[in-house]
Amino acid sequence: MRASLQSLLKKSSPLFRGIFLGTMAFSTYFCMYAFRKPFSAATYSDLTLWGIDYKIVLVVAQVLGYATAKGMGIKVVAEVKPHQRMLYIIGMILYAEICLLLFALVPAPDNWMFMYLNGLGLGMIFGLVFSYLEGRRITDLLGAGLAVSFIVSSGIIKSVSRWALSFGIDEFWMPFVVGLCFFPALIISVWCMNLVPKPDEQDKLERVERVPMFAKQRRKFMKKYGLGMVLLVCIYVLMTVFRDIRDNFGVEIWQELGVSDIKIFSETEILIGIAISLMTGVAFLIKNHKNALWFNHGLIFGGCILMLLGTLLYNGGSITGYWWMVWNGLGLYMVYVPFNGILFDRLLAALNERGNVGFLFYTADFCGYLGSVFVLLIKNFGKNPISWLDLLNAFAQLLPTLCIVLVVSSYFYFNQIFQQKTKSGLRFLGA
């Protein structure tokens, strides 16, 4: 069966291969969320550890595990060989599920460590999945599909998890049970994704060949483009903080808004996911890599404006809390999604640099999750208590404002880089 399916994919059109690969990547990452997000659908009320709300401890623990994995991923994902990817993904998911089992077996609150270990197992999955997609002529479309996966899956998995809790499943066992239900589908999806042929010669010609980036190559890249990377990473850090609060404490925020329907998570995120897939997919139509890079900068700028406008309308009483969450979610993912491979894929191609997205993505992701942990700890230990809703509202005004300054600065920085490259090329031709 493996040989026949592999043969079929090799003989098929690039469009069919792209649809097949995109579907399997979507399914793989969708299923991964069943091992990451179910716990956030529970409240774990009346539990504390070290004077900290127990759910905050779990969120911080998993995020720290995720951040640790992202730090490791800067090296591991950048250097991983194509034939190793499937085993890495399955092994890490299996390890994460074992951690959820131990989380259920060990009495609370002493079981918090297993949430850290769970995050450690899951933190490199996105980079490994995206490594199947990058460097192709249709990477923008594939990336858009993957983006929809992590937007939609978070909401749907939380709705499934709330549904599981409604059947009386213990909130400590629920994450393991949900993960177990999705494990077979994940195995099939990864296996199918691994059968798709590597990028062909035309892909390499149009997108620049993707190769492992070892320490020397990574240092060289940062020396050449360090300031631009710092500007982009800062945007990602700020939006990761906003996303983590909106995502991990969505149950509490919706309750403060007066909404308790378990379908609310999937309902709002599906709307946002469809809109984001259409916007990011447009980049596929832009063949010039520099113009596509500017398009992604425009998405980031537009997302920030949408977050600010939506919050202004909500605070003024012009829209309801439901539509405010849709507006700030749409704006958030207009900023956040380009960083998850699409922007960096075009950046490498526009700069004509050989390398891979894994290094760039994990550098940004590592910093983003550390920033998220920092804010959660300040929120818990701050002298003036603030609700999750009020914190989200404040951040929906502050963070987009800062991001607008950063993305405009990034535009001018990379535009100057391109101008310098053009002048260097002209001097070379003149010689």
Give the pLDDT confidence score for residue 431 in this predicted structure: 38
H or E element at residue 284? none
| pLDDT band at residue 218 under the 50/70/90 scheme | confident
Residues 304-323 pLDDT 10s: 999 999 999 999 999 999 99
Residues 204-216 pLDDT 10s: 666 555 566 677 7
> Which domains are assigned to the chain?
8-422 (1.20.1250.20)
Per-residue tokens: 200: 């062909």
Per-residue tokens: 75: 């090296």
Proportion of the chain in helix, strand, coil states, percent, rounded to 5: 80, 0, 15
Per-residue tokens: 207: 């997108």
Spell 395-412 as b/e; 16+ CB within 10 A means b. bbeebbeebbebbebbbe
Looking at per-residue confidence, does 429 or 374 come out higher?
Answer: 374
Question: Tokens 């297993």 correspond to what residue?
Answer: 114
Ranked by mean pLDDT, which of 5-14, 121-130, 168-177, 361-370 comes out on top?
A: 168-177
- Residues 320 and 314: their CA atoms lie apart, in Å, by 6
- Residues 257 and 321: their CA atoms lie apart, in Å, by 6
Ranked by mean pLDDT, which of 206-215, 237-246, 421-430 comes out on top?
A: 237-246
Q: How far is CA 37 from CA 62, 87, 93, 160, 250, in A?
A: 10, 22, 13, 10, 11
Helix ranges (H only) for 282-320 are: 289-315
For the whole model, what pTM was predicted? 0.75
Q: How far is CA 283 from CA 95, 144, 323, in A?
A: 36, 9, 27
Question: Tokens 């090799």 correspond to what residue?
Answer: 10
- Residues 108 and 111: their CA atoms lie apart, in Å, by 5
Q: What rounded mean pLDDT belongs to the chain?
A: 85
Residue type, 145: G
Query: Is residue 49 within 8 Å of 173, Cβ to Cβ?
Result: no
Looking at per-residue confidence, does 275 or 345 come out higher?
Answer: 275
